[in-house]
Amino acid sequence: MSIFKRLLPLILLTMSATSFGSNEPFKPVQDLFSAMSAIDHTKMKNLVTTDFQLLEAGEDWTIDDLIKVVNPSEYIRRNYFSMIKTKISGQMAWVSYWNKATFTKGEHVDSVAWLESAVMIKDGESWKIQMLHSTRIKSKNIPKNIELTEHLD
């Protein structure tokens, strides 16, 4: 058996782990929006650091401020994302991405979009969101070449 054939499984495993790991810091961001859709305040708190800061529409919020506005509603929220960039430096990472949510009630659908960035801190084996900066934009202003993918739990 050639050396290549013996090393192929290891090479594939390494490539797979590397490609998965590059987006791993983004997972808590996706999970935060899923928790918001599910009105799961406990999960929202568990995904952020104790000093979490949200810069939203010209305001400086804590996780408690965010939780106060995430309430049960008749609307169903679906979340879509498109990554722009991920950078990891030791125990810190930052991501930038396009974010779009649709809100459906019966036949009525509204959409809201944002250009966002987030800073994550490594907490043991997982990442937590320390800071999230959100700039709301009109959905029609998302560049046409951006492919948004729905995040499902």
What tens digit of pLDDT does each residue of 70-105 get?
A: 999 999 999 999 999 999 999 999 999 999 999 999
Is residue 105 a part of any domain in this protein?
yes
Instruction: Tell me what pLDDT residue 146 has.
Output: 86
How high is the pLDDT of residue 104?
95
**Is residue 123, in this structure, part of any structural domain at all?**
yes
**Residue at 5 is within a domain:** no
Low-confidence residues in the chain, pLDDT < 50: 3-23
Q: Give me the CATH number covering residue 88.
A: 3.10.450.50
| Position 4 in a domain | no
Local structure of residue 90 (DSSP, 8 states): T
Domain count, the chain: 1
- Output the pLDDT for position 37: 93
- Residue 111 pairs in a beta bridge with 102
Task: Specify if 63 maps to a domain.
Answer: yes
Domain membership of residue 135 (yes or no) is yes
pLDDT for res 17: 35
Please state the φ and ψ torsions of residue 76, each to the nearest 5 degrees: -105, 125
Enclosing domain of residue 59: 24-150
* 109 within a domain of the structure (yes/no): yes
Spatial contact of 112 and 52, defined as CB atoms under 8 Å apart: no
Identify whether 10 is part of a domain.
no
pLDDT at 128: 97
- Alpha-carbon distance of 45 to 50, in angstroms, equals 8
